[in-house]
Structure formats: structure tokens, C-alpha cells
């Protein structure tokens, strides 16, 4: 029976859709009377319209997207019907497997059944949460709450007509638009290591070595067991070849425990899964074979490393120990690993596992209904999340993306986390899940990890700047992008930009921009950038002395660098520079930061005397500076002087 349909195969899909549901309904009547074929029909619609079009190929990711995203957004059913969705899908999976219609590329039926069981609480909560509804479903919910029979087309038309005649504010109140997306995270610019250093680092990491050795070992192909595992003999050989920490026939005390399956050698088993996820090998008819198109990748180290990172995001359950309990994180590696790398990318210091695990646990509690669970069970689950997070970080270590930093003093626990794990979880359980000390170990990105995280963020469409990115931009873009950089990053970007253009061309472009731009930020940064243009920059600044608006900046720049004598700075010029510097700092860092600039000018009485004379300065920014000082200066005498000066400024403006 045909099971895969392209978007344009509408007639063929609907015919197969109806045939499948008829056959499933007949089977369910005998074997699973609780199943509702109508609810299964929604899943088939999702698979054709939003998935891969294969009605018999189901993996964990499909079920997660279907139940947690698509169903709540698109489908309106009563609560009792929603409770039958997961059992109906479970019966459908069983029927597909029994009829031989479950595609071999699917996850195992047992895995799919466990996924449905695990997702059910989240699914029911999402179905009952209006924030998950799409516009159409929100409208249906509003009609139902208003007593409209949604099966009566005339009633629906009448309701929509009346709704559309309401004022806009009332329509928005009754049917609010989806909430605004949170503001995107702003990633700081980073310096990337030279390519040669990155290649050398990637060549040396264990994961890359193992993937290369494993793919070479596969050769023309290797036989797998009926369960799709490596044979025990092959797995034993790979322990030595790959240098894993697996123990063959481990000895505990006086007793030897014979290794009976390659599944008991987890690092070797993960290597097979990792090589498959990285598309270096594939499994065909019970044999593992090399992917021919990927073999050149083995000689392109950084490409291989990126493929390995991408593969790690697909491993999911393969890297977790499920003997104790299943993992909350197993199905979320594809998004969790970018999140972890982003958190470390943003951090100036090593981040302790405790902090990373706290955030992961908060995400878990936000995605599951756990309010009625016993406290000790919650504590155990939270420890399991920490242990699983540590397991993910171990694999990122194997990839050379992160490094562990020994624990220092344990940080204070975050106040919003309400479980006292040390008290509520038995010591033996904590030991089995990883031990107390693991929580205070810190993690940070390596140079290779920073490069990989930057590439990953950019692939995800995130603005993740790199020092040197701006060398090909014009001067206006350079200064606009550097406005949020720290001083060291600005300097590095300016030097690279001027070097790429040549000092003379760079100085001419910057000077031309300063002559037509009058905002303070551009002015300050433009003069700073001219300092990287060499002798041509000095000549350009000298030429700007002829511009009345730029003359104070040019004179101060030349004096600061020893190209002019201090005597060339007159009091009016110094006062204007003070006013405009304070105005810029107040606009960017707040009035308090502007007030701090005055503290170095002397005791409060001297500061007050300077401030009280500022109203005479010829600058459009005097008012902003005086207002900032009046509201934020910590000394009453200076703040009062600023208020008096502001009053004089307003009076003078009225007279003129």
C-alpha cells in the first residue's frame, strides 16, 4: 500500500487516508475499542500537510511536534476527546506495526508508546492553554464560550459578522493577538582562533578520532545483530581501537562479570549511533556500511567536527542511562545543545553545572504538569536532570567544545528554586545520579567550542558577530555596529577596518562621515576610529578643526595624543566637551553614570561651580546634561546647582 505522498498528491492522499482509517477502525473495534479513528485522522492530516508526507513513518520528534505544537494550535476538541488522543495514537502505532505498515525508519513501537505516555500530561495542559491556540482555534474557543453552536454555519456567520462590527479595541480584548516574541538575545562579538589552530584542536579531540577510526574500521561493511547492535566480538575489538573507557568482563571484588552484549559497552555503542547520526555510516539489511558521499569529510577536519556536533544533537536517548529512570531531556537535544552552548558563549566566567541544571529544571517544570507529584519524587527528577545535563556536557567534552573547571566555593542556590535536595533526597540516590560534587564543577567553551557555537548560532539565523566581520562595511555601518561593543572590541574592529582600506582611504571616509553626522555617538566613535588610521588619521583630524561643531573634538583628540599643546584647549571648548560627553553617557548608561563623570573634577563645591556655569555653553545638549545631573548627582549641592543652571537655561531660551 502506498504510504508516502507529496503536497501535490492531494487526491491520492485522501484516498489512502480513508482506506487506512477504515482498516484501522475495523481492527480497533476488535482490539482497541477505546481508540477513536477520527482523532487519528488529524495525525494523518498533520503528517501529510506539515510533516514528511510518510503516513507510516513515525519517530519521537513527530509525536512531540504533533502533540505539543500542532494539535494545541490547530485542533478544537472537547476535554474528554483530548484525553483519548494519546490512546488512539498508541493503538494506531500498534496497528501499523502489526500490519507491517510501520516504516523501518520509524522508532521502535515501544519507544513510540513510551513517548506518547510521557507527552500526555504536557499535551493535555497545552490543549487547555489558550496561549497555545492559533488564530482559527482561538476564534472557535471564543464562539464556544459565547454559546455558539460551531456546527451551525449560519450561527458562525452571524457571530463573525457581529464580531467584525465591534470597535478594534473590543475585538482585541475578546480575541487578543498572540503575545510578542521575546526580544532576541544580543550576543557579544567574539575573537575566533586562526583556522590552523582550530584544525589542530579538532584533529586532537577524542570524538573526531573515534569517528574516523570507527568509519575506517567499518570498511566495506560489518554485520550487526538482529537487534541492530554491534556483535560482541566487534565491540570488544573497538574498545581498544577507539580507546573507550568501557570495561570488558569487569572484575568487582573477587568476581568477574562476563560481558554478554555490546550494549554493555556504552561508549562503543554510542560511537555507532554517533557515526550514524553524523551520516558517516548507515545501516542496510542488518549491516553497517560507510556512506560513500561522506568519506571525503574524514580529511576535512573542521567540516567533520561540525558534522559531529550536528550528529550529537540527534542522539537523544542513545547517550542517557535509562536503567534508573527515563530522561526528561532525551527528546530535546536538538534545541538543548544550542541552548547550552549559547549560555556558555554569553558567560564571562565558567558556569557551574548547578546553574545550568537549575535552568533546565525550570524548563522541565514549565513543560510538564508536576504540581501534584510528591516532593521526594520531584527531588529525584531534578537530580536526574542534573545528571543527564552532565552527561551531555561529557559528550561536548569528547568533542572538544567545552572544558571542565574544578569546583571552587559552592555558589549560593538561586532563591526561586524551592526544593532542598540535600535534605529531601536520600544520599544513596544522589550518589547513583552523580554525586554532590558534580553540581559545583564549572564549564566554559574552548576556542574550538566558541568557533562551533558561533557557526551554529549563525546557521540558526542569530546575529553572532565576530571581530573582523565589519572590514568590508562602510564607515556608517562600522560605527553603528560598534556602538554596543566594549572599548577593546571597538579598537580591534577599527584597526582591522582601517588596515583593510589603507590609512588614507579610511581616514577620508571617516572624516567625511563626521562632517555630515551630528549625533554624539557617531562623533565620539568616529574620532576614536581615526586613531587607527595612522598618520592619515592625524591629518584628517587636523582638517576637522575648521568645522565649528567638530573643532572641540579635534583639538581635544590632538592634545590627548600629543599633537597639540594643552594651551590650545580654551575653557569654552572644555565646557562643551564636558556637556556633550555627559549627555552621551546619560543617554547610553543612565543619568547616574553621567553624574559619576563629575566626581573626578574636585570636591562638591568645585563641581557645583562648574555645573552652575554650564547653561552658557553653546551646545544643544546642555539641557539633557543638566537634567541628568539634577536628578542623579549624589551630592545635594551639585544637584541644586544643576537645577539652578537648568532654570537659567530655560529663562534665557524664553527671552531669546
Q: Is the pLDDT of residue 182 over 50?
A: no
Lowest-confidence range among 257-271, 505-519, 558-572? 558-572
**Rg of the chain taking only CA atoms, in angstroms:** 33
Q: Is the pLDDT of residue 164 over 60?
A: no
Q: What percent of the chain has pLDDT over 70?
A: 85
| CATH code for the structural domain at 195-296 | 1.10.10
What's the mean pLDDT in 201-208? Answer: 96
pLDDT confidence band for 354 (50 / 70 / 90): confident
Q: Which of 597, 595, 600 is nearest to 638 (CA)?
A: 595
CB 424 within 8 A of CB 382: no
- Confidence (pLDDT) at 186: 78
CB 183 within 8 A of CB 135: no
Q: Is the pLDDT of residue 419 over 70?
A: no
- Confidence (pLDDT) at 432: 44
Digit-coded pLDDT (tens) for 109-159: 887 888 888 888 888 888 877 665 555 556 666 666 667 776 677 776 666
Q: Which of 412, 418, 415, 416 is nearest to 439 (CA)?
A: 412
CB 345 within 8 A of CB 450: yes
In terms of DSSP H, where are the helices of 425-550?
427-433, 447-459, 475-482, 487-501, 503-516, 520-530, 535-543
- Confidence (pLDDT) at 462: 84
What's the mean pLDDT in 54-59? Answer: 89
Q: Is the dihedral of CA 297, 301, 302, 306 positive or negative?
A: positive
Lowest-confidence range among 401-405, 471-475, 650-654? 650-654
- Confidence (pLDDT) at 33: 86
Digit-coded pLDDT (tens) for 222-254: 999 999 999 999 999 999 999 999 999 999 888
Mean pLDDT of the residues in the chain: 84
pTM of the model: 0.63
CB 511 within 8 A of CB 503: no
Burial 46-81 (b: 16+ CB within 10 A, else e): bbbeebebbbbbbbbbbbbebbbebbbebbbbeeee
Q: Per-domain residue ranges for the chain?
A: 10-132, 137-174, 195-296, 330-448, 469-566, 572-655
E strand or H helix that includes residue 393: helix 375-398
- Residue 230 β-bridge partners: 224
Amino acid at each position: 500500500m502506498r504510504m508516502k505522498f507529496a503536497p501535490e498528491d492531494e487526491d491520492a492522499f485522501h484516498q489512502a487516508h480513508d482506506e487506512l482509517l477504515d482498516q484501522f477502525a475495523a481492527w480497533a473495534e476488535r482490539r482497541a475499542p477505546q481508540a477513536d479513528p477520527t482523532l487519528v485522522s488529524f495525525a494523518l492530516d498533520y503528517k501529510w500537510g506539515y510533516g514528511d508526507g510518510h503516513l507510516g513513518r513515525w519517530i519521537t520528534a513527530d509525536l512531540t511536534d504533533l502533540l505539543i505544537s500542532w494539535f494545541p494550535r490547530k485542533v478544537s476538541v472537547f476535554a474528554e476527546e483530548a484525553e483519548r488522543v494519546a490512546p488512539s495514537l498508541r493503538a494506531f502505532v500498534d496497528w501499523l506495526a502489526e500490519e507491517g505498515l510501520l516504516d523501518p525508519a520509524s522508532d521502535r513501537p515501544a519507544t513510540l508508546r513510551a513517548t506518547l505516555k510521557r507527552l500526555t500530561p504536557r499535551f493535555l495542559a497545552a490543549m487547555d492553554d489558550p496561549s497555545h491556540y492559533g488564530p482559527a482555534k482561538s476564534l472557535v474557543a471564543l464562539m464556544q464560550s459565547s454559546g455558539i453552536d460551531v456546527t451551525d454555519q449560519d450561527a458562525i456567520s452571524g457571530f463573525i459578522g457581529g464580531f467584525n462590527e465591534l470597535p478594534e479595541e473590543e475585538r482585541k480584548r475578546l480575541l487578543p493577538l498572540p503575545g510578542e516574541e521575546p526580544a532576541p538575545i544580543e550576543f557579544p562579538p567574539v575573537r575566533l582562533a586562526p583556522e590552523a589552530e582550530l584544525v589542530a584542536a579538532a584533529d586532537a579531540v577524542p570524538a573526531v578520532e573515534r569517528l574516523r577510526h570507527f568509519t575506517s574500521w567499518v570498511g566495506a561493511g560489518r554485520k550487526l545483530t538482529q537487534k541492530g547492535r554491534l556483535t560482541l566480538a566487534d565491540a570488544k575489538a573497538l574498545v581498544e581501537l577507539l580507546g573507550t573507557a568501557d570495561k570488558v568482563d569487569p572484575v568487582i571484588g573477587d568476581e568477574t562479570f562476563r560481558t554478554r552484549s555490546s550494549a554493555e559497552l556504552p561508549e562503543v555503542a554510542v560511537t555507532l549511533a554517533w557515526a550514524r547520526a553524523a551520516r558517516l555510516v548507515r545501516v542496510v539489511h542488518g549491516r553497517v556500511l560507510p556512506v560513500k558521499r561522506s568519506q571525503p569529510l574524514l580529511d576535512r577536519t573542521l567540516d567533520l567536527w561540525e558534522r559531529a556536533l550536528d550528529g550529537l544533537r540527534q542522539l537523544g536517548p542513545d547517550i542517557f542511562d535509562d536503567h534508573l529512570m527515563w530522561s526528561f531531556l532525551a527528546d530535546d537535544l536538538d534545541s538543548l545543545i544550542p541552548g547550552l552552548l549559547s549560555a556558555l558563549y554569553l558567560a564571562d566566567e565558567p558556569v557551574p553545572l548547578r546553574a545550568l541544571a537549575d535552568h533546565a529544571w525550570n524548563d522541565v517544570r514549565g513543560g510538564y504538569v508536576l504540581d501534584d507529584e510528591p516532593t521526594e519524587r520531584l527531588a529525584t527528577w531534578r537530580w536526574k536532570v542534573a545528571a543527564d545535563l552532565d552527561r551531555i556536557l561529557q559528550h561536548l567534552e569528547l568533542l572538544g567544545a567545552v572544558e571542565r573547571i574544578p569546583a571552587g566555593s559552592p555558589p549560593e542556590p538561586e532563591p526561586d528554586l524551592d526544593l532542598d535536595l540535600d535534605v529531601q533526597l536520600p544520599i544513596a540516590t544522589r550518589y547513583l545520579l552523580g554525586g554532590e560534587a558534580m553540581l559545583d564543577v564549572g564549564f566554559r567553551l574552548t576556542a574550538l567550542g566558541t568557533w562551533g557555537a558561533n557557526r551554529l548560532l549563525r546557521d540558526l539565523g542569530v546575529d553572532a558577530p565576530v571581530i573582523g566581520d565589519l572590514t568590508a562595511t562602510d564607515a556608517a555601518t562600522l560605527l553603528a555596529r560598534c556602538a554596543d561593543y566594549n572599548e577593546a572590541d571597538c579598537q580591534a574592529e577599527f584597526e582591522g577596518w582601517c588596515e583593510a582600506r589603507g590609512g588614507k582611504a579610511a581616514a577620508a571616509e571617516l572624516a567625511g562621515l563626521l562632517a555630515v553626522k551630528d549625533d554624539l555617538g557617531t562623533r565620539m566613535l568616529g574620532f576614536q576610529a581615526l586613531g587607527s588610521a595612522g598618520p592619515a588619521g592625524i591629518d584628517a583630524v587636523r582638517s576637522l578643526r575648521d568645522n565649528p561643531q567638530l573643532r572641540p573634538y579635534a583639538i581635544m583628540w590632538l592634545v590627548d595624543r600629543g599633537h597639540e599643546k594643552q594651551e590650545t584647549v580654551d575653557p569654552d571648548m572644555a565646557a562643551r566637551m564636558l556637556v556633550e560627553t555627559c549627555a552621551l553617557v546619560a543617554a547610553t548608561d543612565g543619568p547616574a553614570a553621567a553624574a559619576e563623570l563629575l566626581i573626578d573634577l574636585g570636591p562638591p563645591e568645585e563641581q557645583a561651580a562648574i555645573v552652575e556655569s554650564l547653561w552658557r555653553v553653546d551646545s544643544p545638549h546642555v539641557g539633557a546634561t543638566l537634567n541628568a545631573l539634577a536628578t542623579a548627582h549624589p551630592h545635594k549641592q551639585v544637584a541644586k546647582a544643576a537645577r539652578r543652571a537648568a532654570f537659567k537655561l530655560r529663562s534665557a531660551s524664553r527671552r531669546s
